[in-house]
Amino acid sequence: MARFRHSRHRNPGAGTGLISAFLALCLAPLCASEESLNDIKKQPLDDLEERRQSIENELSQLARYSLRSGVGQLGFRSAGNESPDTLESFQIELGEEVLIDTIVLAPAIWRDTKTGFRADGFPLSFRIVAGTGSDREGATIRSYELDSQDTARLAPFVIPCENLVASWVRLEATRLSPRAFDGKYILQLSEIMLFNGEDNVALGKPVVTSSNHNSNSRVWIPKFLTDGSLPYLMDAAQGSQSVSFVSTDIEDTATITIDLEAPHTIEQINLHVVDQSDTVPQAFAGDFGFPYHLQVVGANEADFSDARLLLDFRRESIFDVSPVVMKRLQPTTSRYIKLVALEPYSFERVDERREKHISSRFGFAEIELYAGGKNVALGRKAVSALGPDHPVRSVAALTDGNNLYGKILPLKEWMLQLSKRHDLELELPLIEAELNRRYEQQKTNLRILSWAVAGLLAGSVILVMVDRFLRQRAVFRTKERIAADLHDELGANLHAIALLGDLAQQAKDSPEKLSQHLERIRSLIRRTSEAAKNCTNMLDTPGLHEDLIGEMKRSARRITTDLNHELKFVNEEQIERIKPKKRIDLFLFYNECLVNIIRHSHATRVETCLSADNKTVKLTVHDNGTGLPQNTKFTVPPSLKRRAKLIGGRLFATTPENGGTLITLQMRLT
């Protein structure tokens, strides 16, 4: 069974802070789920804008998907299946127990005419199984269920592991996806990488597959799953451009020597081929300058008197060369490393006289030598007896850590950056869509607010105009009330004073009656003076008409002194509920009725009745005079109409069958 423990006999490598951060980020979900979308919708606008800026800044620092072109190995493809539920697997045989902290799956990529580049044959459902020794069953380390969006990814698929010690690792695909050109269900990958720190322990290891591709094509071979050949070009977003070193025509054996300045146990060599992807199409094949037969030797003496062979590599075809050729070396402690082109790269060229010649070249974009997961050749001096074609193509470019696109990243960091780019490029559109939705909502709210402000301004203008109109009407009503009060109150009192004066004149021979009439005249004059002083706001006059029934009785005695006047009140407790303003207006209306009877009716008898119930108040004044004038437009005196209007009551004036005039006023109690 797979064991999870710390390994003491292998050094996992001291990972940098950046790599540790990438590994932590890879523990997060690898695709945008409904839950993450809901989380985005819950975030404040400022946080979303800050997150978008953060993603854009981070993307500008991450390696880009630059895909290789030309001809080369692809990886491995299983046999075609009719059902997606067919089990297919790849197993990496490590040969010894190794500590693994990260597994990386590089997809095989094809060109979709509709959507562009995308993965082909990446499993929809799979698990990682690992074991040690003779245990062939192993234990499931991770299981994944992916959607079509994630299986179409260009980026590597990163699987973090924790303290996994295994001598073999197997990928079992339980649900396959269809390949592009015929719809057959397959398992297809470009590379499987197993990292112990910075070291890809799967490099060059044998692969056992559950089925084989039935084609004779040399591009789908099991060993290509662990040969270090990837579908990407090293295109970091950092560093400076460096032009590859390429020799002139080679006549003797071509060599490149690197002084590491101290002995190191070299375990791996990475050879970055001469950059050809700067033109479309490429001017040369992807193996330009790469020898057909290459040896790598190491020594601790500068004259290589103690030289030992570290690598003997013969390439049989173009499929043995990729943008970065990664090879395991026999672990040997050496200070000096020499690359010997026993059979250099050759090609046919035509000179100015159109004569054909065979030319040979030897060169690379970079040479990396790894010891303990670190490139110990970086910045070290490289020497070659071969002159460059151009002064720009310096031998120093072989160890400067840069290629045509910039900085050369360690393999693990490169894969993690591409995987992180994939996650961020999935998240960014979701954030931008949510921000656009929020911005549209803000625009809508702004339009609504603009209309609301316009409505408020229009409403304010209308309110100002209505207020002005109401103020003008109030002024008019105030003037009208003052005029009515002066007419009704003062007119009634002055008329009463005139009547009492006539009575006093008649009683001049009777001192006692004369004194009474004069006293009543004096009282009316005082009352008239108070009324004139307070007629602009009779409600503020203390005690005025608080006793409506008593006031009506006293007024009847003063004005109808020489008439027979019958005054009746019904439901006096309801009458007392009449509001002060209504009470004043009702009293003045009653006075005006009596004055009109005295002035115009020639009546000898008056009957008055004031009644009230829960809702209405009714006042009737009936005299036996000459009645209303006939065949006239206005049958009701204007003064009574004006007072009835101020009261808000309904006024009726009729001539009963028994003669005279009947005035009826109805108004609401409250």
**CA angle (389 as vertex; 385, 395 as ends), nearest 5:** 50
pLDDT of residue 6: 34
pLDDT of residue 492: 67
Assign 458 a pLDDT band (cuts: 50, 70, 90): very high
* pLDDT at residue 15 greater than cutoff 60: no
Give whichever of 92-96, 495-499, 666-670 has the largest mean pLDDT.
Answer: 92-96
pLDDT of residue 342: 93
User: Quick one: how far is CA 349 from the chain centroid?
Assistant: 60
Assign 23 a pLDDT band (cuts: 50, 70, 90): very low
Give whichever of 67-81, 144-158, 444-458 has the largest mean pLDDT.
Answer: 444-458
* Domain extent at residue 371: 237-408
Which is higher by pLDDT, 542 or 361?
Answer: 361
Residues 346 and 265 in one domain: yes
pLDDT of residue 21: 42
CATH number of domain containing 263: 2.60.120.260
Residue ending a domain, choose from 206, 229, 252 = 229
Number of domain units in the chain: 3
pLDDT of residue 669: 83
Point out the least confidently predicted range of 22-36, 257-271, 542-556. Answer: 22-36
Residues 78 and 131 in one domain: yes
CA 479, CA 481: separation in Å to the nearest integer? 5
Residues 263 and 206 in one domain: no
* pLDDT at residue 20 greater than cutoff 50: no
Residue ending a domain, choose from 351, 385, 408 = 408
Residues 281 and 213 in one domain: no
Residues 303 and 171 in one domain: no
| 10 is a domain residue | no
Residues 211 and 172 in one domain: yes
| 503 is a domain residue | no
- Asked, as a colleague might, if the bond just before 638 is cis with ω within 30 of 0, I would say no
Quote the mean pLDDT of the chain. Answer: 85
CB half-sphere exposure, 27, CA atoms < 13 A: 8
Assign 278 a pLDDT band (cuts: 50, 70, 90): confident
| 265 is a domain residue | yes
* pLDDT at residue 419 greater than cutoff 80: yes
* pLDDT at residue 347 greater than cutoff 70: yes
**CA angle (99 as vertex; 95, 101 as ends), nearest 5:** 125
Question: Is the distance from CB of 315 to CB of 292 less than 8 angstroms?
Answer: yes
Q: Determine how β-strand 564-570 pairs with β-strand 3-4.
A: unpaired
| 155 is a domain residue | yes
* pLDDT at residue 600 greater than cutoff 90: no
pLDDT of residue 511: 78
pLDDT of residue 185: 94
Sign of CA dihedral 168, 169, 173, 178: negative
Percent with pLDDT over 70 in the chain? 86
Which is higher by pLDDT, 24 or 145?
Answer: 145
Point out the least confidently predicted range of 339-353, 361-375, 406-420. Answer: 339-353
The pLDDT tens digits for 33-59 are 566 778 888 899 999 999 999 999 999
The model's pTM = 0.68
| 622 is a domain residue | yes
Which is higher by pLDDT, 328 or 476?
Answer: 328
| 449 is a domain residue | no
Nearest to 381 by CA among 259, 521, 274, 291: 259
Residues 324 and 395 in one domain: yes
CATH number of domain containing 592: 3.30.565.10
Residues 290 and 380 in one domain: yes
The pLDDT tens digits for 492-520 are 677 677 777 777 777 777 777 777 777 77
pLDDT of residue 1: 38
Residues 273 and 345 in one domain: yes
| 173 is a domain residue | yes
The pLDDT tens digits for 280-335 are 777 788 889 999 999 999 999 999 999 999 999 999 888 899 999 999 998 899 99
* pLDDT at residue 230 greater than cutoff 90: yes
